[in-house]
Amino acid sequence: MTISAVLFDWDGTLVTNDPGAIGVAASAVEAYARKHLGVEVAGGDFARAFQAVLPPSVPGETETCPTIGRVIGEAFTWLGWPSGTNDVEACARLFFDQGTRYQEVYDDARALLGSLKYRGYRVAVVSNAIFPGHFFRPKLNELGLAGYIDSFVSSADVGLSKPNPAPYRRALADIRAEPHEAIFVGDSPATDIAGARNAGMRAVLLQRNTPVRDRSGFLVINRLTALNEVLGEGTVF
């Protein structure tokens, strides 16, 4: 079957994860609150509120997705901080910018994306994130990926998280590809692989460092550039 489009997960697949991102982002919001809201803030206040109002999520089971604006608004209410719509929007953007500032593109991701672009594949990202997809556009420019990615869909854009097929379908529509014309590459069997299958797509599991015990039903690669071998010159999978 000819493949003309490749969809990817974001965190852990194309870019590195930063385990300290929430702490850095929360500190930035606290600094904003001191300066613009006139409140007394103890270190860690916003981080605790953020975690308190963030809905619990079980990968592969939870499909509802909150948005960063709603979570920040509820955290402000939880803390009793006065704020308006503009403050919530400003802090949502600030939280994103600071929380992603240390993300880096994997070397194999940059190499593969360049190869896919050269060969004419349509490329999209489907990410489970509380941030809307348009937040990522400046980030793509910053990371030098804007020219390689045709669409970035976040679960926050559709209100549903992987493995629900909705974000995949939005991305496929954006790049004008049918499920049978595309494959999805991600690092989570419970969300990425299951979601791609729910959307009628074939899937490839990326496992850089963790051995995979059950490989039935999907291909497993240990580096993204191995996808070139899968696609081949004739883009047949």
Per-residue pLDDT of the chain in tens (237 residues, 90 and over written 9): 689 999 999 999 999 988 788 899 999 999 999 999 999 998 899 999 999 999 988 888 888 899 999 999 999 999 999 888 999 999 999 999 999 999 999 999 999 999 999 999 999 999 999 999 999 999 999 999 999 999 999 999 999 999 999 999 999 999 999 999 999 999 999 999 999 999 999 999 999 877 665 566 788 999 999 998 888 754 444
User: Taking the model in full, what pTM does it have?
Assistant: 0.92
Task: Name the token pair of 122.
Answer: 């349509």
Residues 13 and 206 sit within 8 Å (Cβ to Cβ): yes
- Look up residue 2 and give its two tokens: 């000819």
Q: What's the distance, CA 9 to chain centroid?
A: 6
Determine the 3-state secondary structure of 151 from DSSP: strand
